[in-house]
Each structure stands twice: as C-alpha cells, then as structure tokens.
Structure 1
Amino acid sequence: MTDTVQTDLDARARELDRAHVFHSWSAQALIDPPVLAGGLGSTVWDHSGRRWLDFSSQLVNVNIGHQHPAVLAAIHAQVDELATVAPATAALARGEAARRIVDRAPAGFRKVFFTNGGADANENAIRMARLHTGRDKVISTYRSYHGNTGAAIVSTGDWRRIPNEYARGHVHVFGPYLYRSEFWATTLEEESERALRHLERVVQSEGAASIAAILLETVPGTAGILIPPPGYLAGVREICDRYGIVLILDEVMAGFGRTGRWFAFEGYDVVPDLITFAKGVNSGYVPVGGVIISDAIAADFDETVFPGGLTYSGHPLAAASIIGALDAMEAEGIVDNARRIGAEAIGPGLEELAERHELIGEVRGEGVFWALELVSDRDARTPLTAGAMGEIKKGLSARGLLPFVQDNRIHVVPPCVVTDDEVAQAMAIYDEVLGIAGRG
C-alpha cells in the first residue's frame, strides 16, 4: 500500500470508531483513541507505520507479546479442526488447557471452571465461596479492581464501584500501602501488622459467621502495583483459617508471568482456596478467564449442581490459545525473562530515574509489574495533578512509547518478552519526559 492509502486507513479507523464505538470508562465526546493496526513482540504500529514500544501490554495482559507465532498457530489449527463447541461437551483442547493450568497450580487444585474473562472469574469464585460456606458477605479492599460485573464491581474498591452498587453483602477494608499508610505505620512490618489487625477487627465486627470470602488481588494492579509487605498474605490466610472463611486470590493481572512467577502468590508464603485468572494465561489473544478450584470446594459439586454457566465457557479457540501460550512460555523461558529483566534492568533503571527526578515519589514492583508514583512535593507526597499526568502521557506517546498512566502513576508493564535494549529505550523516553515535566 502507498503511504497515502495507509494514512487513509488510519483516518477511516478513527472515523468509524468515533461514529459507532462506545468506549468503556469514558466520556465519549472527550476521547481520541490511538489507532493500532499491528504489532510484534513489544512493539505496535498504526497503518501508516508509526511505531510505539508497548509498555502498557495493552491492559497489562499481553504477557507473551504481540503476535507470538506459537499462539497464532495453535488458534489457526483449532479453527481448522473445530471452531466452537458447547461447554457441556468434552473437548480435547479444553481438557489440555485445564491440565496445563492445574499443573502450574499448587497441590490440591485439580479443577478449572472456564469463564470469558477476569470479571466473571471473580463473579463465579464469589458464588462458589458463598455456596461452600453457606455465608453471604465478601470482604475486599478499597484499593482494588476485580472487574465490571455485578459482584465483581462491588468488590472493587475504587470510584468505579460507587455508581454500580447493586450487589449485596460487600464490605471493604484498607489493605497495606506503606507510602500512603492508613495506619500511621513507618515500617513495612508495622504496616503489615496493623493492616492485619484492621482486617481481623472488621471480620469480628461484621460477624465472622456471616463472611464467605476475603477476595484480594495478590498484587493490586490498577490500584498501584502494591507489593504486599512481609507476612501480610500469610496473615490473611491465618485469619481465614481461624474463622472458616474462603480466601480468593485474584491473579487476573498478576498471574502467568507478570511478577516473574507463574502465580504471584508463590512469592508470599500463601496458598488460597480459589484462584482467579485471565489476561496472561493466553495474553488476551482470545477472551478467556477462569477459576482454579481447590479440591475441597470442587467436591461440594460432585453430587450437587453448580448453579453457574456460560455459553462460551472453555471455548475451543480460547483453550487452544492457552495451550499455545503456556507451552511457548515454558519452552522459551519467558517467565524467567520477566523475573530477570525486572531485577536486572527495569528495577535498577527506575531507581536511577528516581535519583534524577524529584517528581518520582516511590518506585515499586517486581518482574514486569512496576509503578512510578509521581508527586509535586516529595516531602508532602502530594500527588501530581491530573493535568500534569495528561501532559506526561502525551509526551511519552509522542516519543514512541505507549504508556499505562493511572491517577498519579506511570505503570511500567511491558510484555514478559521485553528485551534489555527495549527497556533501555523506554528508560531514555521516561527520563526525557520526566525532565521536561519537572522543569514545568
């Protein structure tokens, strides 16, 4: 195609989008979404060939990178064999996908319930916990995001919950976040201890016998990539055991390589009762999610009907994409790459930026899951304004980096396949834009 035709395709894509597409979480007249036409690895481009390093992984889900040939081949092969099948059937691809998932889960997890994404994974995990315990309430944190369906959005703690509070039985607590501690803590140990005390007092005050589940993101993602302090998740496990509460760990964003481990919780001395997943399990090539169910909870439904289901549960194209993705991630050491590059390139690079830029209040993260918290005053920890963050986002994009900007933070979340050279390019772009913002 000529350059003119390609530019016309960008214009046509934008025209159709603005005319007919209703975007999530947006005031429709105020947005100008970028056009993306292709991608490979950690890079994306529009029709006219303008390229960006994708340090957003889209919605922190393209862990294996764009257009990985093994995942594409698996999907193509399944299309030729059987493109769709009802969930009540036994399908080889679905069984193989489930086996690969449970092979990476802790001992005592042998069943997977497939969903269409992360929100309905959390929805069904809540349903299972309520049925298992005969209780109703679900405790989650204010700094969290669990999806945009009935119970999942009310479990969510941020502003998106408030216009959507239609589900019953949800209680929120503050989780640990030392940089902006709700507990007047000065050390990680104090933060962990006081957050656990707060949680247990809420359990007691709500009535432990009324609480079905505690639902937590292992590492809260959209809320700020909040690494749990030492002992916190193990302490939550102890509280759940003490009061007969189901522990659900939401690994939708943190799972399948994002933290440099197959599951984020592997680094925190905890095993949940239910594990929810989506995003990284197949890098979003086909919509899919699910619940990995502990044997004790799965046994409840051996002779009793589970009252939940989805037309596309375990869709064969989604299952094939999981097989292709997980096999490639294993064979190519992609999870190990995420761990290494976080420790050797991203983490040190961001710390160097923090030394040079007063705008950076804190650096936190692991693997390919990092956040820069930006402030206008380091001592007061005053969040950088929305206007300033908007200018930073524009500056990053203009210099060839597709960012993930949330509130007063830049989330540094490239694919797990990102290279050292790509990290170095990104660091140079962050450095330049933060320098300009700091002078402004």
Structure 2
Amino acid sequence: MESQDMIDLCKKHTMYTWTAGENVEPIPVERAEGVYFYTPEGKRFLDFNSQLMSVNIGHSHPRVIEAMHQQLQQVAYVYPGTATAVRARVAKMLSELVPGDINTFFFTLSGAESNENAIKAARSYTGRFKILSRYRSYHGATNATMQLTGDPRRWANEPGSPGFIKVMDPRPYHYSFGESEEEQTARNLEYLEEVIMYEGPDTIAAMFVETITGTNGIQPPPKGYLKGLKALLEKYGILMVCDEVMCGFGRTGKMFGFEHYDVVPDIVTMAKGLTSSYAPLGAMGVSDAIAEHFKKNTFWGGLTYNSHCLALSAAEASIQVMLDEKLVENAARLESVMREEMDRLKERHPSFKEGRALGLFGMIDVQKNSVGERIAPFNGSHPAMTKLGQFFRDNGLFTFVRWGSFMCNPPLCITEEQLREGFAIIDRGMEITDAAFEG
C-alpha cells in the first residue's frame, strides 16, 4: 500500500490519540529494523524516541520474532486460570530481575492496566481509599489512571472517580522548593507530610510516583528524595508504588530506575520495555507481604488477556536479548555521549535552556530569552517549536516535541555513531529556535 492510501484509510476509519482526527498527520510506516523505520517509498527515520519510549531493544529483532512464532505454533491463548510454561518462566525471570522482595506478578496488557490494578491492590491490602500522586505525572488513560495522572490530559476526563489527591513534585514547573537538591528534598517532604496530615494518614492507601518523571520533563528525583519518601510513607503505613512503565527495562542505564536510589517500593508497575512493544503486556509486581495477603484474600481484578501466552513469549525473548546483548550497559555507557552532545548544543545555541539525561532517557528544554523563560507556556505551544518538529520530520528524525521541549530516547541498541547522527540533526534544527530567541 502506498503512503497516501495508508494515511487516507487510517484517518477515515480509525481514531488517533490525544488529537482531533482532522489535525493528525501520521507518518506512514512499512517496515522497521534496529533504530530505523521506513515509509513505503523508502524514506528512513532515525527513531530517537523508541516510538513511545518503548522499543528498547530496537525494531524487528529476529530472536523475539522467532520466539513469538514458536509460541504461536504451541498455544497462543488460554484463559487466565491456567498455568503455562511461558507464564511460569517469565514470572520467575522477573522475580530474579526485580530487586528486593518483589517476587509476585500480575500480568496485564499495558501500563495503564498495571497502574489500575495497583490501585485496587493498594486499597484492598490497606483497607484505605485515598491515593496520592504528583502533578507532573502521567500514569495512563483509563478512567482511574487519568485521575491518578497530574498532567493536563486529565482535565478533559474530569470529573472522575473520587479519592485521588495531587501534590507538588520536588521540582515543580515554576515554584522552587530550594536551590540545592538536598533542600528540594527536605522542603518537599516537609510539605508532603503536612498534606498527609490534612488528608488523614489513616485514609491514604498509597502514593504513586514515576521513579523518574517521564513525559512531563524526564526529571530524575533530587538527592535523597525517594529514600526519604519511602521512610515518610512507611511512617504512616502508606504504600509506595513506583511506576516504571517508561523508565524500566534499561532505559536509565539500570534495569529499573529505582535501582539508582537505594530503595525498593512496595509495588512496581511496568509495561513498554517489558516486551519492547513487540506485543502488548504490562505487569504489577508486589512485595512478599502483599502477595501473602492475596493468597488468603481475593484479588478483585481480572482481565481476559491476563498472562497472554504470545505476549509473555515476547517479554521472555526481549528481556533475554537485553541481557545477552548488554543493552542496559550500553545505555549507561552512552549517557556520557548524550550529555556531551547536550553540552555542545548549549554552547552553540542561545535557545538551549537545559538538557537532562539518565542513561538514554533524555530531554531538552528550549528558552525564548536570556532570563531563561521557556519558549512555550505550560500546556502551550510556540510557532518555532512547530517548525522545529517539522524540521525533525523532514530530516528523518523521529521524536516528540511537547510544549517547549523535545525528547531524546533512542532504542538501547543505538551506537555512538547513530546517537551523534541524531544530535547532528538537532544541532541544525535549533537554528530555528535560535531565530526566535529574544535576547
């Protein structure tokens, strides 16, 4: 099928996410391999965002495709009440990979479903109802997870179910809890404890955090934050849930983001890199104490496709590829290259505000003046950012431009040469935002 036929039929008969159908300009994709994907006419794109920060091992890895083929020949689907070899193997594999006492897993089809079931598990286990989360967060697009989410996509989905309490991040969008990381941590946790007091500690089941804030800034937590947060929550019997949907499975240079911070949550949620998006699969991992509770008490959650054999085969092969090809180590090694490229851009471009990277989890913010004012307001846009996004697309770089920032999240199999190839396109593109810089 030619590109325009693809586009026309998809726009006529399907709905797209987070946009009006008339506004979407989909990229027609025929095939993908490694860090690149191609249109039917052969135009090549460097995938600088791993699609939705999810194709961690790269596209079309033959080992994953073969594993899925073999599973299809054996059994593709059986109902969730069965036991299968692939379910047993993947659960055991995860129990060995996830640190601490998280050894039991409930399989879903997405990060949103993983978080949805984590809400159920936390409420059932604690006997409490309220859930804390942060404003600069995204946890999914189901009914409950939209209310768990803090970012503006929540607004159109309100009013939602009750019981969700939002709090400020340790590094909010405008307000500052302090200059040093230690001060940000101390003041935010002091503020959070006061919120807990106001809400009633005995009413709060859990707090959900993206270990490293993803879509809303790719913001690693300040020093001591996660450890201090875990201690504060434990003081009041509140569970800590780490959403690792985006930052898990090697993205940050460690298998899981929370491994950077000397802490183990009570519940961890995952998806995306779990299968590198070769098939839909998510998981909720729970501590031994929570798992023991649900051995004696019903877990009131169920999904037709819970523990789907084909999806689990994709997870098993994808994780094994990640381990065998040392892709987590590659992400850790290339962090310094990404930071070096960001530093080079900052020297060259007055519109460059800030670059952040942990492993191959990166984002660049753009400014409109020397005061450091962002080029686009919160939940807003700027013509120069629209032009920048078009420049990236015209020059074969695929990434996400959002408000006054853009993302740098390539597959973990990327080479140093390919990474610098992407930044060379960014370098040329930022001449557009420089032209809009007001001095």
Tell me which interval the TM-score lies in, with the shorter structure as reference length: over 0.9
Q: 1:10-409 counterparts in 2 under 5 A? A: 10-165=3-158, 166-177=160-171, 180-343=173-336, 345-384=337-376, 385-409=381-405
Q: Distance in 1 between matches of 2:73 and 2:310?
A: 10
Aligned amino acid, residue 173 of structure 1? V
Q: Which moved more, 1:188-197 or 1:314-323?
A: 188-197
* Equivalent in the alignment of 1:3: none
Q: Distance in 1 between matches of 2:341 and 2:70?
A: 41
Structure 1 residue runs of 5 or longer lacking an equivalent are 1-7
Q: Distance in 2 between matches of 1:243 and 1:181?
A: 29
Q: Which moved more, 1:400-409 or 1:307-316?
A: 400-409
Contact preservation (8 Å) 1:181, 1:191: no
Distance apart, 1:13 and its partner CA: 0.5
CA distance 1:200–1:18, change in 2 (3 Å):
same
Distance apart, 1:439 and its partner CA: 2.2
Distance apart, 1:387 and its partner CA: 2.1
Report Cα offsets for 1:270-311 as digits up to 9, x if no partner: 110000000001111100101011110011111221110100
Distance apart, 1:20 and its partner CA: 0.6
Aligned amino acid, residue 303 of structure 1? K
Q: Tell me the secondary structure at the aligned position of residue 30 of structure 1.
A: coil
Distance apart, 1:386 and its partner CA: 2.9
* Equivalent in the alignment of 1:439: 435
Aligned amino acid, residue 168 of structure 1? P
Q: How many residues align?
A: 431
CA distance 1:380–1:340, change in 2 (3 Å):
closer
Contact preservation (8 Å) 1:183, 1:194: no
Contact preservation (8 Å) 1:183, 1:195: no
Q: Distance in 1 between matches of 2:432 and 2:20?
A: 29
Q: Which moved more, 1:140-149 or 1:396-405?
A: 396-405
Contact preservation (8 Å) 1:51, 1:400: yes
Distance apart, 1:188 and its partner CA: 1.6
Q: CA RMSD in A?
A: 1.2
Q: Which moved more, 1:370-379 or 1:59-68?
A: 370-379
Q: Which moved more, 1:383-392 or 1:53-62?
A: 383-392
Contact preservation (8 Å) 2:208, 2:242: yes
* Equivalent in the alignment of 1:412: 408
Q: Distance in 2 between matches of 1:386 and 1:300?
A: 51
Report Cα offsets for 1:390-422 as digits up to 9, x if no partner: 110100111111112122111100001111111
Q: Distance in 2 between matches of 1:78 and 1:184?
A: 52
Contact preservation (8 Å) 1:121, 1:290: yes
Report Cα offsets for 1:44-78 as digits up to 9, x if no partner: 11111000100011110000100011111111110
**How does the TM-score come out when normalised to structure 2?**
0.96
Contact preservation (8 Å) 1:404, 1:413: no
Distance apart, 1:184 and its partner CA: 4.7
1:421 equivalent among 406, 417, 435: 417
Contact preservation (8 Å) 1:118, 1:279: yes
Report Cα offsets for 1:171-216 as digits up to 9, x if no partner: 00011227x4523522222111111111111111111111000000
**How does the TM-score come out when normalised to structure 1?**
0.96
Identity of aligned residues (%): 38
Q: Which moved more, 1:102-111 or 1:210-219?
A: 102-111
Q: Distance in 1 between matches of 2:186 and 2:370?
A: 26
Q: Distance in 1 between matches of 2:361 and 2:419?
A: 13
Q: Distance in 1 between matches of 2:63 and 2:55?
A: 14
Distance apart, 1:378 and its partner CA: 3.6
Structure 2 residue runs of 5 or longer lacking an equivalent are none
Aligned amino acid, residue 164 of structure 2? H
Contact preservation (8 Å) 1:279, 1:289: yes
Distance apart, 1:103 and its partner CA: 0.9
Distance apart, 1:242 and its partner CA: 0.3
